[in-house]
């Protein structure tokens, strides 16, 4: 099938693979993007989290925590430009949305949009949002939110709203007493993009899928020619375990060795012992602005088309 320059551009941005590799992947899979990503991963040409981590839209992430530190909310609202994301009116609007989410419970974004707006009770959230689009003069999107509760919830914002984190802790300590520890954990989540608390929380189907990708990569290595799948699976299990450590919070090495040298799990144990309190991370949420979205880039599309002779 014919592969367009825009499709190659999209797959390249999703995976980070080379342009011609992306063209070949789309050709081999009849233009199916999910299968093309798998094709590239099996060839060792794309990373597992590139698609999800691609930052390609503007806006801000906002977090708020209740006065008793037991409930927190994080919301992402996207804009077309960074200029608007830095606009005080836009930031005040997003804070207003966060306050309403903190004070009320909604099943999802659609339910939130259908509710009466705390910013103007004569309108729904959706209607007020449309008025903000008209006022600011740029398309805005209430993309997602999440709300969590625990003994203590801590929030952290990085990069002026580029990344927001909520950390939920099970503890018998006050929020003030464990604030430094939770800040270090939140900064860890920002820096190393943990997806699970521990390897025990990783779904078995995810592990099986990732192992199959590693086996396919091993098959592609000429040094492993003729080796049966059972042998290749044993060979790659160690690589899988290493990969899981990279995405599991408690098994990651703490980013700040000046604070503690060792895993985050052992750091939390040390804090518990030093302070004489119980402390465990029960949940966390990490939002990064524009995560998984694609930004328009006409110049790059033209560059791809030119190189492909289109």
Task: Return the domain boundaries, the chain.
Answer: 1-54+297-310, 58-198+281-288
Domain 58-198+281-288 -> CATH class: alpha beta
Per-residue pLDDT of the chain in tens (310 residues, 90 and over written 9): 788 888 888 887 777 677 888 889 999 999 998 888 888 878 777 654 443 333 337 899 999 999 999 999 999 999 988 888 999 999 999 999 999 999 999 999 999 999 999 999 999 999 999 999 888 888 889 999 999 999 999 999 999 999 999 999 999 999 999 999 999 999 999 999 999 999 999 999 988 888 888 888 888 888 888 888 788 777 888 888 888 888 999 999 999 999 999 999 999 999 999 999 999 999 999 999 988 776 555 444 554 555 455 5
| CB burial string 126-139: b at 16+ within 10 A, e below | eebbeebeeebebe
| Cβ neighbour number for residue 35 with a 10 Å cutoff | 14
Please state the φ and ψ torsions of residue 26, each to the nearest 5 degrees: -70, -35
Q: Among 33, 59, 83, which Cα is nearest to 291's?
A: 59
Homologous superfamily, domain 1-54+297-310: Ubiquitin-associated (UBA) domain (1.10.8.10)
- Do domains 1-54+297-310 and 58-198+281-288 share one topology? The answer is no
What pTM, to 2 d.p., does this model score?
0.74
């Amino acid at each position: 099938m014919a592969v367009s320059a825009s499709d190659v551009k999209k797959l390249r941005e999703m995976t980070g693979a080379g342009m011609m590799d992306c063209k070949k992947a789309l050709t081999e899979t009849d233009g199916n993007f999910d299968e093309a990503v798998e094709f590239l991963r099996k060839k060792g040409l794309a990373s597992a989290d590139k698609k999800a981590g691609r930052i390609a839209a503007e806006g801000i992430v906002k977090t708020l925590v209740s006065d008793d530190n037991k409930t927190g909310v994080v919301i992402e609202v996207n804009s077309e430009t960074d200029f608007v994301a830095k606009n005080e009116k836009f930031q005040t609007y997003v804070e207003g949305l966060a306050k309403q989410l903190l004070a009320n419970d909604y099943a999802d974004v659609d339910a939130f949009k259908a509710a009466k707006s705390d910013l103007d009770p004569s309108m729904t959230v959706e209607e007020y949002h449309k008025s903000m689009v008209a006022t600011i003069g740029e398309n805005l999107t209430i993309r997602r939110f999440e709300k969590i509760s625990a003994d203590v919830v801590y929030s952290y914002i990085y990069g002026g709203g580029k990344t927001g984190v909520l950390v939920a802790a099970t503890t018998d300590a006050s929020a003030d007493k464990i604030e430094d520890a939770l800040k270090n954990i939140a900064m860890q989540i920002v820096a190393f993009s943990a997806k699970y608390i521990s390897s025990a929380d990783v779904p078995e189907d995810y592990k099986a899928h990732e192992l199959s990708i590693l086996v396919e990569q091993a098959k592609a290595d000429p040094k492993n020619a003729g080796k049966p799948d059972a042998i290749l699976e044993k060979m790659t299990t160690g690589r899988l375990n290493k990969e899981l450590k990279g995405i599991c919070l408690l098994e990651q090495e703490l980013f700040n060795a000046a604070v503690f040298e060792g895993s985050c799990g052992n750091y939390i144990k040390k804090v518990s012992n030093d302070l004489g309190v119980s402390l465990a991370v029960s949940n966390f949420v990490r939002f990064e602005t524009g995560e998984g979205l694609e930004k328009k880039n006409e110049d790059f599309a033209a560059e791809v088309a030119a190189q492909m002779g289109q």
